[in-house]
Amino acid sequence: MRVSLYDYEKRDVERATFIIEDTSPEFVNTIRRALYTLVPTLRIEEVIIYENDTPMYDEMLAHRLGLIPLKVDDIDQFELPDLCDCGGKGCEKCQVRAELEVEGPKKVYAKDLEFDHPDVEPAFPDMLITEVGEEQRLRLEAIAVPGLGLEHAKWKPVSAVGYKGLPELEIDEEKLKEKKITYECPQGIIKVKDGEIVHIDEDRLPECRMYKEYERATDGAIKLKLRDDAFVFNVETDGSMPLEEVLMRAFDALEHKLKSLRENLEEEVGE
């Protein structure tokens, strides 16, 4: 299995495209699902609302708070509530508390949440939570809990992860000349004029989204096949963790699962 970085962009969130070769769809899908479900992150899970005079309902406010991505320096210092020594009751190893107290008129941002742990902060301080009008008050307490995307999508450290087969061109030059085909792809990757190939941007083929169109517009002379042993793999984080850390943690989680399976099997067979 080989992998190469095709594209990388870092803005508010990190986004990368890899090309993975010599593998199978099943395996790439396993990586995708591991990224979604096996990497722990910290999110607000419980909200205690003392005062809420804003037009936003308590439920909606709690839902919005839950979706805010939280950044932790080292997630390993926390324990999943189910596996924690306290038995899920809640202790400082599996909970972080936050307070919010706002008097209007004011806009409420994620940075107004005051966490009682020095390593925890919202990934994007400028996130708009709600707005408090004149003579209105908002006072609440939030409890953040580490969790897995398996339980609820808010704990996912990534937003969109996807893959497709690596596109490969199949050109029938005789047919192209015979039918005097003229075609230009909207993405500017392929240009054919009167049966002559003017320009093909091989490097940008993994970006191609119009592959069905090629075949239809050129009467089958240019076909784009998607390989099933090489893939274009897309990942984007939601800001709660660096992209590299997300990938490494997903691989570690897969490795851990296989290792425990192996140990278990060895015990069974060894008897």
Partner 1 sequence: MIIPIRCFTCGRPIAHLWEKYVEMVEEEGKSPKEALDELGIHRYCCRRMFLSHVDLLKESLPYTPPRLGSPR
Contacts with partner 1 in 44-83 (CB under 8 A)? Answer: 51-56, 60, 64, 67-69
Q: Does 2 bind partner 1 (CB under 8 A)?
A: no
- Both structure tokens of 56: 């936003």
Contacts with partner 1 in 141-200 (CB under 8 A)? Answer: 153, 156, 159-160
Q: Does 236 bind partner 1 (CB under 8 A)?
A: yes
List CB contacts of 90: < 8 A, sequence separation 6 or more: 81, 143
Q: Does 11 bind partner 1 (CB under 8 A)?
A: yes
Measured CA to CA, the distance from residue 112 to residue 121 in angstroms comes to: 10
Residue type, 198: V
Measured from the CB of residue 204, what is the shortest distance to partner 1 in angstroms? 16
Nearer of residues 22 and 101 to partner 1, judged by Cβ: 101
Nearer of residues 209 and 227 to partner 1, judged by Cβ: 209
Nearer of residues 69 and 221 to partner 1, judged by Cβ: 69
Q: Does 91 bind partner 1 (CB under 8 A)?
A: no
Choose, by CB under 8 A, the member of 128, 150, 248, 261 that binds partner 1.
Answer: 128
Residue type, 195: G
Q: In 152-259, at which residue ranges do the beta strands (DSSP E only) sit?
A: 162-171, 183-184, 190-193, 196-200, 222-236
Nearer of residues 69 and 176 to partner 1, judged by Cβ: 69
Q: In the chain, at which residue ranges do the beta strands (DSSP E only) sit?
A: 2-10, 14-21, 41-52, 70-72, 96-103, 106-109, 114-115, 120-122, 128-132, 137-147, 162-171, 183-184, 190-193, 196-200, 222-236
Q: Does 206 bind partner 1 (CB under 8 A)?
A: no
Which residues are at the interface with partner 1 (CB under 8 A)? 9, 11-13, 15, 51-56, 60, 64, 67-69, 105, 110, 123-131, 133-137, 153, 156, 159-160, 236, 238-239
